[in-house]
Amino acid sequence: MKLLVFQHIDCEHPGQLREYLRRDNIDWTAVELDAGEPIPALEGFDALWVMGGPMDVWDTEEHPWLVAEKQAIAHWVETLKRPYLGLCLGHQLLADSLDGECGPMPVPEIGVLDIELTEAAGQDPVFSALPKQQAALQWHSVQVVRAPSNSTVLARSDTCAIQAMRVGDCAWSMQYHVEVEPDTVANWARVPAYRDALIATLGEAALAPLQQAASDNLGDFISNSGLLYDQFMREARRHIG
């Protein structure tokens, strides 16, 4: 299997998921779009992962490469119909690339917070293996407010109704982060946009409690990421034959 990964900032890589890729000897290529790296021919890849980033889906003047990325995502999901996994910004880009809609949240969702799988997730080939209640790392101020056509909402939280979704039968995405590693919070807190959002939402002293909460839940984060990865890759292999 050949995996293509779209990255939007160097510290938002597949994180913990890299351990599973290494374990399975998966051939994967990361494209750093914010650094001007070009999108390769999509037909040479079997699965696409789209990671997070500090920009918003509508920031096309500041980040013109977002236009080409959205076109690539739409082509991948609607025309090639190949397996897709989107995290945070990758979740929002999936909606925005199709006929969904994203918008700002009244209050950013930042912290280790609870999500709940929907009833539909129980029949989903990927999410049915995951715990119905999970603590997850959140760090976002934009949400999907309307899911695309032919989609199923798979998870929600008290402040964000579309925490995860499936579009068609081979594209999955989630607003929360499943790729968390021991140093994830510290690394992201060095990004000015993330640090500013953290302080504005939770206060000047918020970093240490967030790091502690992430550390306390790291075992569950890793367990859930492994379940998600295994189920996604099983479905990916099924779709690519």
Helix, coil or strand: residue 30:
strand
Sign of dihedral through CA atoms 148, 150, 155, 156? positive
Query: Is 177 an annotated catalytic residue?
Result: yes
Q: Does residue 13 have an active-site annotation?
A: no
- C-alpha count within 13 angstroms, C-beta hemisphere, residue 196: 5
Q: Which of 198, 50, 173, 172 is nearest to 112 (CA)?
A: 198
Options 160, 177, 181, 235, the catalytic residue:
177
* Helix, strand or coil, per DSSP, at residue 188: helix
Residue 85's SS3 state is strand
> Considering 88, 102, 160, 170, which one is annotated as catalytic?
88
Active-site annotation holder among 12, 109, 179, 181: 179
CA distance 127 to 120: 9
Answer yes or no: 160 catalytic: no
Residues that are catalytic = 88, 177, 179
